[in-house]
Amino acid sequence: MRSDRRGRLKGLYVITDPRLGGGHIQGARAALQGGARIIQLRDKEATTRQLIEYAHALRTLTREYNALLIINDRLDVALAVEADGVHLGQDDMPVLLARRVAGEELIIGVSAETVDEAIRAEVEGADYLGVGPMFTTATKPDAGMPIGPERLREIKQHVSIPVFGIGGITLGNAAQVLQAGADGLCVISAILDAPNPMETTQQFITLLSMHPHTPHRK
C-alpha cells in the first residue's frame, strides 16, 4: 500500500551513478549491504532500453533487501518495472498528471529549491521532497547554486511530507542537514566514490541514528 511505502521515506536514500561505485548494480548492492533501504536509479545518458534493463536488475536487488526502488524522471520506466516510485524535477511531468497516469499507489518525489515549489508539490500530491543542492556538488553538472540547510529548515516548516536534503552531502556536513530538520539524506558520491561504499553507508546510518527525528529502519 502507498501508505506503508510512504512510512519508509526516511533515513538514507542512495542515488546510483553509472560512473561511480562500479556502476548502478554494484553501487546499489554495496549500499544495500551497508543498510540503505531507498535506492534511486538515475542515468541521464542511458537509452530507454538500457534504463529498463538496469531498473529490472535493481528491482530484483531491492526486493531482496526489502528496499524501495525509485526511478529518476521516467514515469514510464517506473511503471514498466513495477518500481515503488518516480522522482520528478521541476521541468519533468507535473505531479498532477503523473498521479493521474500512475494512480495512488506509486510514490512520487519532487525536487524543490524554494518554499513555493515545495508547497506546490505537496498540494499537487507529491509524497516527499528532495531539497537542494545543500552544498556544492560535482555529481549533477546542472545543479544550481547551493541553497544550504537554512532553506531546508524554512521549507520543512511549510510542508508536512518528508523532506530529504540532497547535493554535496558528506559525513562531514550531514549533521547540519539533519539539524535543519531533514527526514533523510540523499547521497551519491560520498558513498559510491568512497574506497569502501558499504562501510561508508554504515557510517551514514550510524550518523542518522544519532538524530531521533530521523530513525533509520531496516
Which regions of the chain are under pLDDT 70? Answer: 1-3, 139-143, 212-218
pLDDT at 141: 60
pLDDT at 3: 60
The domains located in the chain, with CATH, are 2-209 (3.20.20.70)
pLDDT at 216: 45
Q: CA dist 120 to 49, 72, 100, 131, 155, Å?
A: 33, 19, 16, 14, 12
Neighbours of 99 (CB within 10 A): 17
Q: Looking at residue 165, what DSSP letter applies?
A: E
Return the closest-CA partner of residue 75 out of 62, 61, 85, 60.
85
Residue type, 201: T
Residue numbers annotated as active site: 42, 111, 140
pLDDT at 137: 79
Q: Position of cell 545543479?
A: 143
Q: Cis omega (within 30 of 0) on the bond before 146?
A: no
Return the closest-CA partner of residue 66 out of 99, 91, 100, 38.
38
Query: Do residues 102 and 108 touch, judged by C-beta distance below 8 A?
Result: yes
Assigned C-alpha cell, 50: 538500457
Phi–psi pair at 130, nearest 5 degrees: -105, 110
Q: Position of cell 560520498?
A: 190
Q: Report the alpha-carbon angle 37-39-45, nearest 5.
A: 170
pLDDT at 142: 62
The helix (H) or strand (E) run that includes residue 167 is none
Q: CA dist 203 to 84, 115, 178, 186, Å?
A: 26, 31, 15, 14
pLDDT at 217: 39
Residue type, 200: T
Q: Looking at residue 88, what DSSP letter applies?
A: E
